[in-house]
Amino acid sequence: MAIVNVTPDSFSDGGRHFSVDRAVGHALSCVAEGADILDIGGESTRPGATPVSAAEEQDRVLPVIERLARDTDALISIDTYRARTAQLAIAAGAHIINDVHGLQREPEIAAIAAQTGAGLCIMHTGRGRDRLADVVADQFDYLNRSLSIAAAANVARETIVLDPGFGFAKETVEENMALMARCDELLALGYPLLVGTSRKRFLGTLTGRDAGERDAATAATTVLLRMKGASVFRVHNVAVNRDALAIADAMIAAEPRTGKEQV
């Protein structure tokens, strides 16, 4: 899953693709490098980012989605927590809704996913709420509430993936690493896992590198999380992470069978 930020202020690439032509060009280059999914976002989710209106978000993302729906066969994801933006994006040609608030800010997104048959990524976040002390217990608590919203709206199980939300109010390196080490426990919920560690701040803390220099560290997390059972990887640098996954999958194929299947 390639990150396509149509924003001026995203933490790693803000402003670099802040026009329809640049965003589409970047997205198509990601497809050429091996991206299967293009995740289009119109509002930065970095801590402290300035919120944008629904209208501004839609003005940014809808023309990009319309162009990409014509120009590529790759799956298109809309990165939004707004139900109306999700609805318009699906009408414009998007296939997946990626909700960073896990249906708990605008639960109407669940109904849109159910009615349209769109894929649905439900992400965990710790922002704006009290959290349980244990990082994985908090994941189960939050994601089970999100899954209840999805079930009440009759979202088909096979359309859902879960995202543990690395960096979203995981306040320390230790918390992010604990989540990474125990990520396979989330497979007990019964859904594929999507992970997004790409260029995140905790990688910078560990390596001392700025955001644009964290692709090697990202690829290391991609391998580790693939070995833990993750299925989808949301990244800035597609080529590097595709190569990393090729090695990880070869390793998985070479391991003796233990009855624990990779998703």
Q: Which of 67, 200, 214, 228 is catalytic?
A: 200
> Hey, what's the torsion of the CAs at 179, 184, 152, 156, to 10 degrees?
130
State whether the Cα torsion 198-200-205-211 is positive or negative.
positive
Distance, in Å, from the CA atom of 193 to the CA atom of 230, rounded to the nearest integer, reads: 5
In the annotation, is 170 catalytic? Answer: no
Q: How far is 210 from 216, CA to CA, in rounded Å?
A: 12
Instruction: Answer whether 196's CB lies under 8 Å from 166's CB.
Output: yes
Active site residue 234: yes
Q: How many CB atoms lie within 10 A of CB 190?
A: 10
Contact (Cβ atoms closer than 8 angstroms) between residue 21 and residue 254: no
Cα→Cα distances 126→27, 132, 143, 169, 213, Å: 29, 10, 11, 5, 26
User: What phi and psi values does residue 224 have, to the nearest 5 degrees?
Assistant: -60, -40
Q: What is the DSSP letter of 233?
A: E
Which residues are the active-site residues? Answer: 200, 234
